[in-house]
Amino acid sequence: MASDTPIIVVQARLSSQRLPGKVLRAVAGRPMIDYLISRLRQCRLAKGVVIATSDTASDDPLAAWASEHDVPLFRGSLDNVAGRLLDAARSCGGKTLVRICGDSPLMDPKVIDHMIALYQATPCDLATNIQLRTFPKGMSVEVMAVSTLEEAMPLMTEAGDREHVTPFFYRNAMHYRIVGLTSGQDLGAVQMSVDTAEDFNLFEAMAARLGSSVDTADMRTVLAIRQSLTEESQIDV
């Protein structure tokens, strides 16, 4: 039976152009995806986490890691990301999906809970903190009903619609009820996702500085650590 409690769907693959294999790159003996999953499991308003990866051979190591660590995983089309996310949520019996990118190892679970609460309290098709970006990159969250994505799929006909998923909704905002969450600060240019080797080096330095709190530190603490590293010029950010 499908549940109204949101399921977190992590979009991840190993064939990244700029930093191949990044989600399995190790920091202090742990792959980057492990930091993210640990944080996501602390969300109070979601019922679970599933990784949505591709069915290509390049993602076999990610599937093996998920199996070894008892992390639910769904495999689908490499390029039809919208379909992959949709089927991953369905595989867990979810009626609501929370979209998270796998390159966000310091994602704050409280931000996700705030976004889910906003979605549940406000009649809408999509709740987002990226349409108007005031949160750092690496703190991006989108929440929508599985039925909303199902109904939109046949309309996603332009190049890149199914690969990038939500720009379709923002481009057609007049047809969808979209509600946004803002941070109260202008943090949209702050980079905390891992897209390049430099980003990975920054995450490694932040993880070392956070120490035992690396899995629990909130966004404010993480930002303070990043700022201190920048001021000390210990890493090129």
The answer to whether residue 227 sits within a structural domain is no
* Predicted pLDDT at 182: 96
The first and second tokens of residue 149, run together, are 């994505």
The answer to whether residue 52 sits within a structural domain is yes
The answer to whether residue 220 sits within a structural domain is no
The answer to whether residue 207 sits within a structural domain is no
**pLDDT tens sequence across 66-113:** 999 999 999 999 999 999 999 999 999 989 999 999 999 999 999 999
The answer to whether residue 14 sits within a structural domain is yes
Contacts of 80 (CB under 8 A, 6+ apart): 162, 163
Please tell me the distance from the alpha carbon of residue 3 to that of residue 191, in angstroms, as a whole number: 34
Q: Residue 24 belongs to what H/E stretch?
A: none
The answer to whether residue 215 sits within a structural domain is no
CB atoms within 10 A of CB 123: 7
Q: CATH no. for residue 31?
A: 3.90.550.10
The torsion angles phi and psi of 137, rounded to 5 degrees, stand at: -65, 135
**pLDDT tens sequence across 6-29:** 999 999 999 988 899 999 999 999
The answer to whether residue 173 sits within a structural domain is yes
What pTM was computed for the model?
0.94
Q: What angle do CA 141, 142, 145 make, to 5 degrees?
A: 145
* Predicted pLDDT at 3: 53
Please tell me the distance from the alpha carbon of residue 65 to that of residue 23, in angstroms, as a whole number: 11
Q: Parallel, antiparallel, or unpaired for β 7-11 and 48-54?
A: parallel
Provide the number of structural domains found in the chain. 1
The answer to whether residue 1 sits within a structural domain is no
Q: Could you list the residue range(s) of the whole structural domain that residue 81 is in?
A: 7-188
